């Protein structure tokens, strides 16, 4: 086959249907409908199969992207899914929620040197992930069990990835979740129209199929401590992936008025507690007529689009910088704009005003302009003198970021940094022997795929700590000779796990 | 503690017998209910088997209960825990839709869909030599483990509890066993002193000039009154706050309260705070947040109960 060139590939991206903006803004159906098979194959044709693919390096979990695309072109979809899931445990999730434009697709040669739209790697990943769920494909690994017990705190993406890797390595893995349903941010945070709960359920089922036990309603730190897990409950190692779930407020007057809530509360009531189906479900959620969401990250987009679907007449985004600095994924911003959400850039609230019944009625805002660059390299917004104005709203939602959950810090001796995140070394080991941590609780709020990457790195560290042979790496005998080895197998290994695909 | 329903209001007394179907409760998973005691038409006690939680629980902490997978996450202060039996005890006042439904459906041998906890920072059992433990309404039960903890720590404990009337009094013997003095206050004077718990506190302060600390649990309006009673005397007063919350783990921020002019999350920073620093107006206003939805849910629930009763009779 002649080598593909930028001229020989389809120039345009294969189309992916989305629900009509006016229609979808009234329901919770998934917005992006995904490729069909012919379109997926067209998109695969667009991949140049670069010999030194930048996309693999651009992926936090280093998926062999040209590898799975080549298998797809041969219509070996199961094989392609195998390649994909060698690196990622949650293709149906990541295909939907990864910021591909900053990762694999951002460095794709088709775009960087070819000047075309990059290969839609995320959509191809999603297509394979969905196909696997639909066809019931399972990674049938033969797992040789060992004697190690590993406890995992939290059940979000970092924990799921860590649990999967350790279960594959033969450990008895138990995941502890404080809420009544597993999945962490995938469950309570990301709304149904962006990541259907059925997809999360399928990924959780895959985890359980690997032998992982998930225990909900278990608040680690308070029901038992991390130290007790190691000392009394027989866990040989612990992974902490509790996330950065504590919502931030701005500490401006009026924040305690009724009708002011965090995006976390809005999304939790809606996604986890199904408040949208009140009174069939018991948890209420009152969205007003005119909603203002402060912040413009992905969480803000989710909060705004959820509000719209819950029946708000007007949804406004209030952000102190400009659209160029907007931290949300472009696709999310674009979808939000399509759905009629109004954006007020360079606007900062300074006070929330209430009515006689203690309900919020308006925001007092300042107009901003961009000044000198700040520490993050973005131009710092500075207030325009005398630009104060009132902005009417009966619900105000804060989506300006999160801080670390304080419970583990309160209940264990694990060392935190000055912002309250868990301190780890490069191996993700914490100050407590045998305790590893990863995801948002270490780095601060980031993405699903970065959390998964951290979960996998921690799993590798835990395997090393427990002395489990790492099936991913080739054993190198020590330079000093063979005195500690048996036919080249390190005698300090505590098991000889085999992982073989059937 | 309360979820979207608030305590302290006068519920329309309505005895809840087996009027709702129990199908969903009969599955084998969940947390078994081992004891149920009805104290009055609205107040009842559930003892739930959970050995791990019984070991971990400390006075002042709370749990989140879910009746079924369609239910609310209801925060309830732990009323007692028995480490030997491996149980935790909850006392529930049926004032809203969810708690009325619990009253109707939670029977011995059945299970709760979910119970998570213990949550919150345990109460600090200080080295106070003489303390008054005050409980009113829903706060009577959870003040008990505090009184017991103070007693075990060697303090002289004065218990003050408030009820509407003598027929509603419960746990009197239990309290007397851990209190050096025990004062019952009733609105109608049918038991103990006629009046509010604040009168009980005044009496105790007048009798003993050396009270080190007051701990008060109950409806916000009562806790505020207690704090105002002790403020002139300069006696440290701890209160247990009960705002609306969803997850109970610091994630939603719905439970934020204003203490000393700073915003705190009751679920992870509390629930105990210095009563003299708490902004009770703020707390009470925030408890009104879902009043219309609560009323609507109650209305619908009452209607469906009536309908079921009628259907029952027809059969």
Tell me the CATH number at B224: 3.40.50.80
Residue B276 counted as domain residue = no
At A116 the pLDDT is 87
Residue B83 counted as domain residue = yes
Same domain, B113 and B9: yes
Burial A26-38, CB ≥16 within 10 A → b, else e: eebebbbebbeee
Taking CB atoms and an 8 Å cut-off, how many pairs form between chains A and B? 134
B304–chain A Cβ distance below 8 A for any pair: no
B53–chain A Cβ distance below 8 A for any pair: yes
Residue B258 counted as domain residue = no
B contacts of A250 (beta carbons < 8 Å): none
Q: Which of B205, B240, B275 is the last residue of a domain?
A: B240
Å between B305 CA and nearest CA of chain A: 15
For B205, which DSSP code? H
Whether omega for the bond prior to residue A421 falls within 30 degrees of 0, making it cis, is no
Q: Minimal Cα distance from A255: which residue of B?
A: B263
Q: Which stretches of chain A sit within 8 Å of chain B by CB?
A: 178-180, 188, 216-219, 222-224, 245-247, 249, 251, 255-256, 258, 261-262, 264-265, 268-269, 272-274, 278-284, 286, 357-358, 398, 405-407, 410
Burial A216-231, CB ≥16 within 10 A → b, else e: ebbbbbbbbbbebbbe
Å between A256 CA and nearest CA of chain B: 7
Same domain, B103 and B27: yes
Same domain, B63 and B164: no
Q: Which alpha helices (DSSP H) does A268-424 contain, by range?
A: 298-309, 330-338, 407-411
Interface mutation target, options B83, B251, B263, B299, chain A, most CBs of A under 10 Å: B251
Nearest to A179 among B70, B247, B300 (CB): B247
B315–chain A Cβ distance below 8 A for any pair: no
What tokens were used for A109?
């040669």
Dihedral sign computed on CA atoms, order A173, A212, A79, A6: negative
The gap between the terminal CA atoms of chain B, to the nearest Å, is: 40
Q: Minimal Cα distance from A358: which residue of B?
A: B285
- Note whether B97 contacts A358, CB cutoff 8 Å: no
Q: Minimal Cα distance from B55: which residue of A?
A: A223
Q: Minimal Cα distance from B256: which residue of A?
A: A256
B contacts of A357 (beta carbons < 8 Å): 288
B contacts of A260 (beta carbons < 8 Å): none
At B315 the pLDDT is 59
Q: Which of B211, B240, B269 is the last residue of a domain?
A: B240
Complex ipTM value: 0.82
B contacts of A251 (beta carbons < 8 Å): 263
Closest CA to A59 of A109, A13, A111, A94: A94
Same domain, B35 and B108: yes
Q: Which of B201, B219, B240 is the last residue of a domain?
A: B240
Same domain, B11 and B112: yes
For every one of its 502 residues, what pLDDT tens digit does chain A have, with 9 covering 90 and above?
Answer: 557 888 888 888 888 888 888 888 888 888 888 888 888 898 989 998 988 889 998 888 888 999 999 999 999 999 899 888 888 878 888 888 888 888 899 899 888 888 889 999 999 999 999 898 888 887 666 677 888 999 999 999 999 999 988 998 889 999 999 999 999 988 888 888 888 888 888 889 888 888 899 999 999 999 999 999 999 999 999 999 998 889 998 888 888 888 899 999 999 888 888 877 777 777 778 778 899 999 999 999 999 999 988 888 899 999 999 888 888 888 889 889 988 899 999 999 999 999 988 899 999 999 999 888 888 788 888 999 999 999 999 999 999 988 998 898 889 999 999 898 999 999 999 999 899 999 999 988 888 888 888 998 999 999 989 888 755 544 444 454 555 555 555 555 555 444 444 3
B249–chain A Cβ distance below 8 A for any pair: yes
Q: Which residues pair with A213 in a beta bridge?
A: A174
In the numeric block, the tokens 């809530």 are attached to A261
Residue B253 counted as domain residue = no
In chain B, the number of structural domains is 2
B109–chain A Cβ distance below 8 A for any pair: no
- Note whether A282 contacts B72, CB cutoff 8 Å: yes
- Note whether B97 contacts A249, CB cutoff 8 Å: no
Cα→Cα distances B314→A310, A404, B212, B304, B305, Å: 40, 57, 62, 15, 14
Residue B246 counted as domain residue = no
Q: Is the pLDDT of residue B50 over 90?
A: yes
Interface mutation target, options A155, A214, A217, A286, chain B, most CBs of B under 10 Å: A217
Same domain, B80 and B138: no
At B293 the pLDDT is 81
Nearest to B119 among A222, A274, A406 (CB): A222
Cα→Cα distances B313→A467, B18, B21, B194, B305, Å: 69, 13, 15, 43, 12
Same domain, B94 and B13: yes
Phi then psi dihedrals of residue B78, to 5 deg: -70, 125
Cβ atoms B189, B162 nearer than 8 A = no
Nearest to B246 among A256, A265, A406 (CB): A265
B contacts of A395 (beta carbons < 8 Å): none
A contacts of B286 (beta carbons < 8 Å): 256, 258, 358
Same domain, B150 and B108: no
Segment A325-341, tens digit of pLDDT: 888 888 889 889 988 89
Residue B248 counted as domain residue = no
Phi then psi dihedrals of residue B57, to 5 deg: -65, 145
Burial A82-91, CB ≥16 within 10 A → b, else e: bbbbbbbbbb
- Note whether B300 contacts A279, CB cutoff 8 Å: yes
- Note whether A223 contacts B117, CB cutoff 8 Å: yes
Segment B268-287, tens digit of pLDDT: 998 999 999 999 888 888 88
How sure is the predictor about B125, in pLDDT bands with cuts at 50, 70 and 90?
confident
Residue B172 counted as domain residue = yes
- Catalogue the long-range contacts made by A194-199 (C-beta closer than 8 Å, 24 or more residues apart): A194/A30, A194/A31, A194/A96, A194/A97, A194/A302, A194/A332, A195/A93, A195/A96, A195/A97, A196/A30, A197/A271, A199/A92, A199/A93, A199/A96, A199/A129, A199/A130, A199/A133
Same domain, B137 and B220: yes
Please provide the DSSP assignment of B35-73 as one string. EEEE-SSSEEEEEEE-HHHHHH--TT-EEEEESSTTS--
Å between A109 CA and nearest CA of chain B: 41
Q: Is the pLDDT of residue B93 over 60?
A: yes
Same domain, B81 and B141: no
Segment B133-144, tens digit of pLDDT: 999 888 888 899
Q: Which alpha helices (DSSP H) does B66-187 contain, by range?
A: 97-105, 140-152, 172-178
Phi then psi dihedrals of residue B307, to 5 deg: -60, -45
Tell me the CATH number at B109: 2.40.30.10
Cβ atoms B183, B193 nearer than 8 A = yes
- Note whether B286 contacts A178, CB cutoff 8 Å: no
Same domain, B200 and B151: yes
**3-state SS assignment for residue A195:** coil
Range in A203-207, B34-38, B178-182, B298-302 the model is least confident about: B298-302
Q: Which residues pair with A486 in a beta bridge?
A: A489
Same domain, B102 and B136: no
For B139, which DSSP code? G
Segment A365-410, tens digit of pLDDT: 999 998 888 887 888 889 999 999 999 999 999 999 889 988 988 8
Residue B57 counted as domain residue = yes
How sure is the predictor about B209, in pLDDT bands with cuts at 50, 70 and 90?
confident
The gap between the terminal CA atoms of chain A, to the nearest Å, is: 32
Q: Minimal Cα distance from B54: which residue of A?
A: A223
Nearest to B254 among A265, A278, A280 (CB): A265
Which residues span the domain enclosing B138? Answer: 130-240
Q: Round to whole Å and give the CA distance between A150 and A251.
A: 40
């Amino acid at each position: 086959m002649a080598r593909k060139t930028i001229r020989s590939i389809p120039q345009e991206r294969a189309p992916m249907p989305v629900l009509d903006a006016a229609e979808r803004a009234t329901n919770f159906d998934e917005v992006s409908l995904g490729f069909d098979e012919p379109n997926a194959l067209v998109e695969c044709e667009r991949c140049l199969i670069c010999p030194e693919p930048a996309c693999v390096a651009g992926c936090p979990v280093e998926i062999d992207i040209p590898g799975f695309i080549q298998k797809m072109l041969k219509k070996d979809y199961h094989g392609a899914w195998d390649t994909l899931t060698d690196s990622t445990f949650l293709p149906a999730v990541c295909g939907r929620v990864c910021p591909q434009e900053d990762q694999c697709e951002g460095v794709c040669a088709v775009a960087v040197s070819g000047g075309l739209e990059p290969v839609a790697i995320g959509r191809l990943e999603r297509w394979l992930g969905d196909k696997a769920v639909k066809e019931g494909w399972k990674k049938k690994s033969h797992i040789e069990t060992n004697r190690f017990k590993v406890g995992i705190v939290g059940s979000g993406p970092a924990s799921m990835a860590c649990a999967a890797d350790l279960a594959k390595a033969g450990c008895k893995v138990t995941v502890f979740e404080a809420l009544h349903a597993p999945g962490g941010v995938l469950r309570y945070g990301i709304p149904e129209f962006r990541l259907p709960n059925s997809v999360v359920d399928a990924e959780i089922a895959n985890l359980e199929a690997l032998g992982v036990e998930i225990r909900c309603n278990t608040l680690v730190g308070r029901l038992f401590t991390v130290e007790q897990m190691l000392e009394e409950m027989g866990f040989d190692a612990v992974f902490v992936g509790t996330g950065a779930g504590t919502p931030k407020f701005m500490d401006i007057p009026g924040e305690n008025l009724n009708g002011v809530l965090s995006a976390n509360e809005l999304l939790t009531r809606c996604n986890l507690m199904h408040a949208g189906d009140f009174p069939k479900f018991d948890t209420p959620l009152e969205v007003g007529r005119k909603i203002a969401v402060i912040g413009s990250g992905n969480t803000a987009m989710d909060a705004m689009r959820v509000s719209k679907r819950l029946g708000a007449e007007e949804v406004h985004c209030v952000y102190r910088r400009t659209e160029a600095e907007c931290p949300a994924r472009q696709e999310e911003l674009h979808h939000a704009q399509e759905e009629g959400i109004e954006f007020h850039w360079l606007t900062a609230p300074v006070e929330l005003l209430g009515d006689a019944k203690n309900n919020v009625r308006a925001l007092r805002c300042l107009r901003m302009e961009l000044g000198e660059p700040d520490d993050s390299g973005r131009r710092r917004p500075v207030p325009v003198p005398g630009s104060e104005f009132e902005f009417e709203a009966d619900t105000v939602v804060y989506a300006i970021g999160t801080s670390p959950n304080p419970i583990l810090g309160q209940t264990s001796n694990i060392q935190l940094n000055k912002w309250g995140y868990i301190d780890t070394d490069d191996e993700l080991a914490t100050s407590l022997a045998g305790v590893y941590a990863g995801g948002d609780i270490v780095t601060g709020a980031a993405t699903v795929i970065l959390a998964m990457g951290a979960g996998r790195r921690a799993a590798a560290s835990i395997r090393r700590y427990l002395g489990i042979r790492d099936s991913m790496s080739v054993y190198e005998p020590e330079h000093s000779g063979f005195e500690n080895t048996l036919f080249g197998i390190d005698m300090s290994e505590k098991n000889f796990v085999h992982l073989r695909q059937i | 503690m309360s979820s979207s329903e608030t305590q302290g209001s006068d519920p329309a007394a309505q005895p809840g017998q087996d009027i709702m179907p129990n199908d969903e409760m009969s599955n084998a998973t969940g947390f078994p209910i081992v004891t149920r005691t009805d104290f009055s038409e609205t107040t009842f006690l559930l003892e739930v088997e959970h050995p791990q939680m019984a070991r971990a629980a400390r006075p002042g902490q709370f749990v989140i209960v879910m009746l079924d997978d369609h239910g609310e996450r209801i925060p309830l202060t732990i009323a007692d825990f028995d480490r030997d039996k491996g149980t935790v005890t909850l006392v529930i006042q049926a004032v809203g839709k969810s708690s009325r439904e619990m009253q109707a459906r939670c029977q011995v041998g059945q299970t709760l869909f979910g119970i998570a906890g213990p949550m919150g920072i345990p109460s600090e059992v200080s080295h106070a030599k003489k303390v008054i433990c005050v409980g009113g309404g829903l706060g009577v039960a959870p003040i008990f483990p505090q009184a017991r903890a103070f007693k075990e720590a060697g303090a002289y404990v004065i218990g003050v509890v408030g009820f509407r009337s003598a027929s509603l009094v419960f746990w009197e013997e239990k309290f007397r066993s851990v209190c050096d003095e025990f004062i019952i206050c009733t609105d109608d004077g049918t038991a103990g002193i006629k009046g509010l718990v604040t009168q009980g506190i005044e009496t105790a302060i007048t009798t003993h000039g050396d009270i080190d600390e007051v701990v008060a649990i109950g409806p916000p309006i009562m806790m505020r009154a207690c704090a105002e009673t002790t403020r002139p005397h300069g006696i440290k007063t701890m209160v247990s706050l009960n705002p609306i919350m969803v997850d109970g783990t610091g994630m939603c921020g719905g439970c934020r309260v204003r203490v000393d002019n700073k915003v705190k999350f009751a679920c992870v920073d509390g629930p105990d705070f210095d009563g003299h620093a708490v902004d009770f107006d703020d707390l009470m206003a925030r408890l009104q947040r879902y009043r219309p939805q609560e009323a609507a849910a109650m209305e619908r629930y009452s209607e469906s109960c009536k309908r079921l009763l009628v259907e029952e009779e027809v059969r």
